[in-house]
Structure 1
Amino acid sequence: MSSKPTLMTLPREIRDSIYEFYVAADGGYVCNPEKLAEKILNEHRNEANLDVPGILQRADLQPIDLNLSYTCKLVAQEMSGVALRTNTITFSTVSSTELRILAERFNHFMVKRFDGDRDGAFRFAGFAMPEIERQGLKLKYPQFAPLLDRMKQEGNTHPETRLTTGWDGLAQWYRTGGGRFRSRMGPYGEAPSLYRTFQKDALTAIASSRFGREQIERFWRETCPKSAHLIPALRVVECKIQHWAVPSAEDMRYLTLDQASNSRSRGTRLRDRTKYRFSAAAVAIHVLQCLPVSSRMHLRRVILNEDREAVADPQCHGLGLIPFCKENPLLRVERRVSLWRNAFQTDTAYRSPDARYKPKYRYTPWAMDSAQVTHNVASWVIEALALEPAGMPSGSFSLLLDGQPVPWQCTQVFQLIVQRDAAWQAAWLLSLDRGILPSLSWFDRKGELRGSRVPDLPSEKWPQALRDIAEGTSIVRCNFDVGDSWDVEKIVEDHRQWTVQQWMAGLDKREPPTWEPDAPLPSWREIIGENLVYVEPEDDVSSANSDDETYSDEDDS
């Protein structure tokens, strides 16, 4: 009589199927946001490394069971990596009462300070770039060649390059157009992340000569007089910290320029109740960096659920995944962006979700602003399309614009606003190309002075990008019908007699001007309120009746 078969007597392919069935979790694995937030904060307190196994859990909330792998050495060897190969791992945006303060401070120093200082230094000292370095940058970044040529031609004659000593000189610089919030603005039709990378490389090139370093140091002395004698000017230029970082304690010491006074933030003072979050991409990158290479090579599918707004220009955070996708060609990353609770919410009229919720600051209707929809959607798409040129392997990354739970309303928004804006932009460009409108300089066409002499439009790549999405040939897709394209030729012909000013006015006329979400979504005001930390009324120093909390970025400078 033959003995009963055991696991080890079965063929290997059957054993492999058993292993996969054993570890498979309904919905795969997810990152536990509470545990992750706690561990990130512990890293800051204790400089400890992240314990990855402790933050992953099954999506059905059942414990991860790998006990079968402990039965014998051979089973352990055969099951190695099976759980990671079998299960999709999903990351979402992360915040907590304490972590939101870290996220806010990181955003303040990384975006408002370092990015702003680099932008100002680049435009102030650009003329000092050595010729050999300028030629090298033109080869590396041909899309910015006209900008580099103009910097050389203007030399130090433009107001951006003229400063006199002290605050009076700085004020004069701002008044004459040199200030970073006035005058010339990038990214000249490219993804903002590419323009920032170009600026970093340009500043490095400028700093390669003594004269260039002197100009950067001069800019630093005039714009940061309180700390210039303590902090090297090149610290901002040489910063290696990326926007997609979940910053370490060491990173924050670098970004805050080691100034203890900067430890106070709007979050700690309760002046801003925003739930500042780290993006799902930043969280995934942070976790993957803590995994050994041997474990990362088993990963097959990662979903980045960008369910809420996040800090530090989250649209570009896919760049941080390029090394992992190169390392593991079998890894597939899908980034999902909620339109209603993320992409649609960005509102340039307000400095924070907290400000846009307060009645005393609210000067626009309590509804989604049609004028900002296209820019908000395009910002995610343009950054996604910039990934492959930056090194992302083909087929490794995709972006989903998530219209749930009201996909039918997203179709309406796209048909009436997004498709309309893309068609009008295409008609504007055709009118320029055909000489119907007066020709524009390269700089005006690229939107350097957008909103003043020319319309404020997305990248020229946007109309074609939307067509590719509609035709299913893009790495970007939607889970709703994006609507039909408008007749571009008709728009051109109907407005042949229009001036540039009339085009600017016409581009801004959208119907309807605002949107209120359909059920089952709550009202727009309630959706905005979901981004705020609840504060007991007696503890809320940011009440609508208080006029002494007006926040200035200089409070943290």
Structure 2
Amino acid sequence: MPRKTNLANLPPEIRHEIFSNYFQVEGGYVCDGDRLHTADGAPIDLSLRYTCRSIANDTKHLPLAANIIKFTTIHRKEWRSLGGCLNLASSCYFVLLQAFVFHLAQYIPHESWPLIDLKCPAFRRKLQRAEASHQILMHDDDGDNAEDETQPCPFVSRHFWAHVGAVEKYSLLHYTDYGCIYRHPDHRFPIHKLWGAAEDLFEVQAALSFCLRLIAETNPAEFTSHVYAALPHWAGRYSANDFFNLKFDHWTIPSQSEVAHVIKLLGIGDFVWELPDMWSYEPPSFYYQGSESSRPRRYLTIEDVRQADPGRHLSQRGREKVRFSATAIAIRFLKRLPANQRTRVRKLILHEDFPSVNVPSVHARGLIPFLRENPLLRVERRVSVLGCAADIIGWLRPDVLGLEREHNFKGIDNCDLKKRLSSWLLDALVMADLNLPPKSFTLLLESGGNAEYCTELFQVLHRHVALHRAWNLCMERGLLPHTTSEPRQVAKIAKGFAVDETLIKALGILAKQESILRCDFNPGVELNVEEFVDTMRRLDGMRGLDGMKGFEEMRCFEGIEEDPSHTFHSTLASWSHGVLYRSFDLPPGRKYEDLLAENHELQTRDEYLQSIGMKCEEAPPS
């Protein structure tokens, strides 16, 4: 009599196929930050695993292996202050790190430079350039006291004052969203000013850390002196070497206690924890004590604002939605899995749909240990060009609350656009050079239905590359005799036209659409460099030409209008500005107000009153 067939006595490969199909759900799994659920929000059905011990053993790893796991950027109200203060602490550490290396660079052992050059080939040149800029800015700030090493670096004081001191001493009007510190550095934050483009920020920070550790080992007295000058409350309480413990990996989501500990060591008051959660109010007179015309003007304290009646004063209020990246959430999830489950995961999709804290472009590096541990793991990082990579939303007060004062969107500036798009390309390209398993990581740039618009944005990068190459060709061919007679101008122009060769490589890889860099739109085309060379040559000769004729030639090339009485150098600057830095409007159908609402919580006065259960007519007059 033939044996009755049942699930238990089927061949293992058939049982595996059946079980895999059973556990595989449409849309895969989605992580909400703490747990997994199905794409439609339902709990994951694991009831089959409880049928019998044999099936439980056969299927214990299948749910993770059979399903794609998806992550997105996450905003939680309970994480708002954590993310904001993490950004504050991380930026303060980086400012201190820069200052220490600038002041102590002479103590870097000469025999260590070959190793430093190997770790970060371009760092020595960048450090020399940044040091020179740092010295100029120090003298601008402190004058005769700039060389007084007993005082903290002016850059350190400036950064702490801008983001902490001014708010504490004067008013919440001075609060600049902590979630934006890295993304939109103002003139007070030295990343933008000293290092130029921030697309290699991770390598710069790693090289600075390596150099400072060398200095601490070989010249501990000098190192200790500078640490205690910047952090005087450490003297007699902490070792100067504890400074290195202030660093968070960019992709880490630490606990509140961990961030609070670093904030305390930095000498920053606990009040900063309240700031990301507090609303910013419009009009500015909300923060005034007394009448708007009172002099000297006095402002409400943080405690006054907390106890104020918003309904009496406000016309609009808002606060930032601070987010953690999808990659940071995924790393947190993987760390929490036991190793025997983690190695069963096969596919992760990380959707970076909004801006997030702590330089999100570098977060993929945090995946490296997991990709090496699990050669079968495939990670696709999807980045929204408009929502995330272009990162066009700035600080709350000028961008959001300014809407009431008829603030108009000024467009996406090409100069900032180049830095932001480049950072995503270059930081992803690094993953290809780390001996990871083949095809383990891919960056996919998404247009979100705005393919032609994204093509135009990426054409900006091709313009930068063409101008960079044209300038170098002009120098090699000796085509700019008027320009090259002024070395300072040459250096200034060359710096403005400079493009990292790695970016050129990245654009070539992106164009092929078959490697680590991909996109769902046409990424633009290379431009004719010789046309740029010819335009530069003609501009250089304008000194001997009729001014208007020269400008007519220039306008034919880029359509720039300018005063023909300007000098050659302003002409060249105007031309390059037109080539590189003109602004873009938003794509058709996208409103700036909608983008603002995606990145901030906003309330009008009426909406606020409704949220507390008060009718508008019952409220006191504003």
For normalisation by structure 2, the TM-score amounts to: 0.71
- Post-superposition CA distance 1:475-525 (Å, at most 9, x none): 111101223322122212232244676554333215863212223xx3023
Counterpart of 1:461 in structure 2 is 502
Counterpart of 1:283 in structure 2 is 329
| 1:527 has 2:595 as partner | yes
1:518 alignment partner, SS class: coil
Change in Cα spacing, 1:536 to 1:340, as seen in structure 2 (3 Å) is same
Counterpart of 1:40 in structure 2 is none
1:337-356 mapped onto 2 (5 Å cutoff)? 337-346=383-392, 350=394, 352-353=395-396, 355-356=398-399
Q: Structure 1 residue 242: deviation in Å?
A: 0.4
Change in Cα spacing, 1:354 to 1:58, as seen in structure 2 (3 Å) is farther
- Post-superposition CA distance 1:339-397 (Å, at most 9, x none): 111112246xx4x3554223179976354334432322111001111223355444211
- Post-superposition CA distance 1:254-285 (Å, at most 9, x none): 42134572342421333471101111111111
1:388 alignment partner, SS class: helix
Aligned length: 503
- Post-superposition CA distance 1:389-422 (Å, at most 9, x none): 355444211101110122232234334x343333
RMSD (Å), alpha carbons: 3.9
1:534 alignment partner, SS class: strand
Structure 2 distance, partners of 1:190, 1:79, is 44
Change in Cα spacing, 1:89 to 1:181, as seen in structure 2 (3 Å) is same
CA contact (8 A) 1:162 1:173 kept: no
1:241 alignment partner, SS class: coil
Change in Cα spacing, 1:365 to 1:476, as seen in structure 2 (3 Å) is same
Structure 2 distance, partners of 1:398, 1:366, is 33
Structure 2 distance, partners of 1:152, 1:163, is 14
Counterpart of 1:549 in structure 2 is none
Change in Cα spacing, 1:182 to 1:238, as seen in structure 2 (3 Å) is closer
Counterpart of 2:119 in structure 1 is 140
Counterpart of 1:201 in structure 2 is 210
Higher helix share: 2
| 1:106 has 2:86 as partner | yes
Counterpart of 1:59 in structure 2 is 39
Match of 1:508 among 569, 577, 590: 577
For normalisation by structure 1, the TM-score amounts to: 0.79
Q: Structure 1 residue 302: deviation in Å?
A: 0.6
Structure 1 distance, partners of 2:476, 2:357, is 38
- Post-superposition CA distance 1:200-259 (Å, at most 9, x none): 11110110023xx33333333444446666554433334452011001244213421345
- Post-superposition CA distance 1:272-304 (Å, at most 9, x none): 711011111111111111111111110111111
CA contact (8 A) 2:334 2:342 kept: yes
Counterpart of 2:412 in structure 1 is 368
CA contact (8 A) 1:345 1:368 kept: no
CA contact (8 A) 2:409 2:592 kept: no
Match of 2:400 among 357, 361, 373: 357
Change in Cα spacing, 1:140 to 1:523, as seen in structure 2 (3 Å) is closer
CA contact (8 A) 2:353 2:383 kept: yes
Match of 1:246 among 234, 253, 260: 253
Gaps of 5+ in 2: 140-144, 159-187, 281-317, 541-568, 609-622
Gaps of 5+ in 1: 37-54, 541-557
Counterpart of 1:121 in structure 2 is 100
CA contact (8 A) 1:106 1:252 kept: yes
Change in Cα spacing, 1:493 to 1:128, as seen in structure 2 (3 Å) is same
CA contact (8 A) 2:19 2:62 kept: yes
| 1:537 has 2:544 as partner | no
| 1:317 has 2:363 as partner | yes
CA contact (8 A) 2:513 2:519 kept: no
**Given residue 148 of structure 2, which amino acid in structure 1 is its aligned partner?**
T
Which is further off, 74-83 or 293-302? 74-83
1:408-423 mapped onto 2 (5 Å cutoff)? 408-415=452-459, 417-423=460-466
| 1:426 has 2:433 as partner | no
